[in-house]
Amino acid sequence: MPVVAVGDFDWCASVVMPIVFGGALWLSWVAWLGIKRARVLRTLSEVRAKVEPSSPEWNWFERAWSATTRLDKLARRALPRPYADNLRAQVRSTARDMYGLAGHASELARRMKSIDAARLDAEARQLHARRQTAIGDAALAVDRSLTAVSDQRAVLERMTLAREVALAQLASDTHVLEGLHARTLELGASLKTAPVPPRNALDDLTLELEGLRVGLSETIERTRQAMTGASPG
């Protein structure tokens, strides 16, 4: 039977066990973050249109989610309490709005798939050719068909444009959020040497976030109009 030296037990207790224990804690923390994130996303998808996984809008939302998470943590740690609370509330609201806009973009894509643009274009060409020789009631019937085909094409074009606007807004807002995180990092660093921050620096952060949210609301309304077939006023 092999003999285990006392020193081996000491080495195991002082080196191996802390590593194993630390690894287990890290894995538990990662799992907890995953569960928390999944719960938030599930809640968002229950009250807003579901975002299609692996879509362009999903990729932008993932980046925005990462930026808002980092910004929320940084504001809590680096900024004075009243400003931190206000900024964090705006950040959370912005993340919810961006998920809503991404959901609208996915819903537009799902609806666009139900309209066959190639078929409409082919039928329009055939109808125009037929209209050249049609007379009387036949001509009236062809005109009605042309109007119907044109209306479907117009709906598809409105939804396509609304989706492009939504994606552009998501990209822009993601970049703004990442920029706000960088500026908050800079502001947090300056607070280490100057405990009282410039008031305008904090106000600028909240004002920029508010402007971002206003732009989001306007884009969401435009995409909603496109989905309902309403014309913007």
pLDDT at 147: 95
pLDDT at 18: 59
Q: How confident is the model at residue 80 (pLDDT cuts 50, 70, 90)?
A: confident
pLDDT at 211: 78
CA distances from 130 to 89, 124, 148, 150, 219 (A): 61, 10, 15, 16, 41
172 compared with 8, residue with greater pLDDT: 172
Average pLDDT estimate for 5-32: 54
Work out the mean pLDDT of the chain and round it to a whole number.
Answer: 78
149, two tokens: 């085909």
> Distance (Å, rounded) from C-alpha 51 to C-alpha 165?
16
pLDDT at 47: 45
DSSP state letter for 233: -
38 compared with 212, residue with greater pLDDT: 212
For the stretch 148-167, pLDDT in tens is 999 999 999 999 999 999 99
122 compared with 14, residue with greater pLDDT: 122
pLDDT at 28: 54
pLDDT at 217: 78
pLDDT at 181: 87
pLDDT at 26 over 70: no
Range ranked top by mean pLDDT from 8-12, 49-53, 156-160, 189-193: 156-160
Average pLDDT estimate for 28-43: 50
| Secondary structure of 117-170 as H, E, C letters | HHHHHHHHHHHHHHHCCCCHHHHHHHHHHHHHHHHHHHHHHHHHHHHHHHHHHH
pLDDT at 138: 93
For the stretch 195-228, pLDDT in tens is 565 667 667 777 777 777 777 778 878 777 777 7
Tell me the one-letter amino acid at 199. R
pLDDT at 33 over 50: no
> Distance (Å, rounded) from C-alpha 73 to C-alpha 188?
12
- Tell me the whole-structure pTM to 2 decimals: 0.70
195 compared with 87, residue with greater pLDDT: 87
Give the CA count within 13 Å in the CB-facing half-sphere of 21.
7
Average pLDDT estimate for 103-118: 93
